[in-house]
Structure 1
């Protein structure tokens, strides 16, 4: 399957661009809407938590007091991408059922199309977060380039999940609703809007619960974005967590692609 993906990279790039444009076809502002909604979401959270609830600055594990809007943005930007890819990727075979029914079309590239399509907005919001970072007076750091590594890690995890979810969704349409519920719970199980490191440091989270929460692979990603942008900590300083994440991502990818290939011959008949 990896060979098929590499062989069809031009097709994937073309379909990803078309997919991105098609989401907002017919609207007056077009693709601008793809960037408006996440910006509004960040502003709402910032007003509620920082202004209304007086969240102020957030202490990080590196001992840095970061402005809440910067701390929030560094954590929520990867979650925007992850949730978008899982929601759209789960129903990709239903959405492109006319391509699935074509005998000669390589349908195993369709989940990749959704993953690549969502990268356009994700790249914009990484730059948006860095702009906020510089506006608050923080200088340049080479650790910022680690965002690329964590983006690739998140992409690898997401692709494995959507291969599995999209294959099952063909036969079990409620899978899309289950994924949405999973994302609703996951956003609060991931330290995006609450300070995991601060709560663990002052004893509000017991060690056993902290270890369980660290099993969430998106903890590794959101913490990694904050390490790159705010804390200036290298991913190599957390070898155990890094090894765990990649082992999990590879298992999920192997499982997802295996299930997809096993069920692939039946997709056209069911759709």
Structure 2
């Protein structure tokens, strides 16, 4: 993965830009649609929880909307990048059939393409925190670390899901359903600390086994709690163990299946 990121960096950047642009080619608003949908989603969650359900409790000294946004922004990227990566080989089937093209970079292209919207929302998050008088400190730079963690995680999974999707097209829908469930399984709109005392320890550990638990709370630690990532050695170790295993599974599945891609597509 690192080899391709370095040797094919110019091609990856070019393809990522084109991939981002072509999603909205022909529409009047163009790439603005990439920003409108997540913004509407955030406003909808804000209206449901803070206005409809009157969720006015603050967490870590910040309003609920800021607390929720810190967990929602990384999930937007994970959802977008994994969905795109899963469908990358099918979408770029004309490149997969070319003998001279390195198809290994296609999941990387999708992960990089999703970064454009992610960067926008990170900046928007900073602006909203400042407007509320909650100015992020030096710990907010930890978001670079957690973003890097998420980038590697989503790539590791995408290699396997992309390979399976070529041979089993229903996998795209299975991943989409898993992500719909995952957004509620991950403590984004609800606080894990509120329900943990009422749950068996085994159930609590199951929630923490979700790698996005580590990422979402990492963003909150960076923006709200000001907690360094090395203060969670057990969660950090588990995240990297999971990511390494996902990478080994994904790349092995990709290599073993690639000989059939051109024939199936």
User: TM-score, normalising length from structure 1?
Assistant: 0.95
Q: How much does 1:68 deviate?
A: 0.8
Matched, 1:255 2:264: no
**Residue in structure 1 matched with residue 176 of structure 2 by the alignment:** 180
**Residue in structure 1 matched with residue 155 of structure 2 by the alignment:** 159
Q: Which of these residues, 194, 201, 204, is aligned with residue 207 of structure 1?
A: 201
In structure 2, do the counterparts of structure 1 residues 58 and 199 end up closer, same or farther at CA, with 3 Å as the change threshold? farther
Q: How much does 1:206 deviate?
A: 3.0
Q: Secondary structure of 1:57's partner?
A: coil
**Residue in structure 2 matched with residue 267 of structure 1 by the alignment:** 261
**Residue in structure 1 matched with residue 47 of structure 2 by the alignment:** 47
Q: Which of 234-243 and 250-259 deviates more? A: 250-259
User: Deviations along 1:215-264, whole A, 9 cap, x unmatched?
Assistant: 00000000101110111111000011101101111111121111111211
Q: Any residues of structure 2 matched to 1:1-271 within 5 Å, and which? A: 2-59=2-59, 64-200=60-196, 203-271=197-265
Q: How much does 1:58 deviate?
A: 3.3
Runs of 4+ in structure 1 off by over 3 angstroms are: none
**Whole-Å separation in 2 of the counterparts to 1:122 and 1:156:** 15
User: Deviations along 1:185-231, whole A, 9 cap, x unmatched?
Assistant: 1011100111112322xx23332211110000000000101110111
Q: How much does 1:5 deviate?
A: 3.7
User: TM-score, normalising length from structure 2?
Assistant: 0.97
**Whole-Å separation in 2 of the counterparts to 1:79 and 1:227:** 15
Q: How much does 1:4 deviate?
A: 3.3
Unaligned runs of 5+ in 2: none
Q: How much does 1:184 deviate?
A: 0.9
RMSD, aligned CA: 1.1
Unaligned runs of 5+ in 1: none
Q: Secondary structure of 2:58's partner?
A: strand
Alignment: residue pair count: 265
Contact 2:69–2:125 (8 Å) recurs in 1: yes
Q: How much does 1:65 deviate?
A: 3.0
In structure 2, do the counterparts of structure 1 residues 72 and 98 end up closer, same or farther at CA, with 3 Å as the change threshold? same
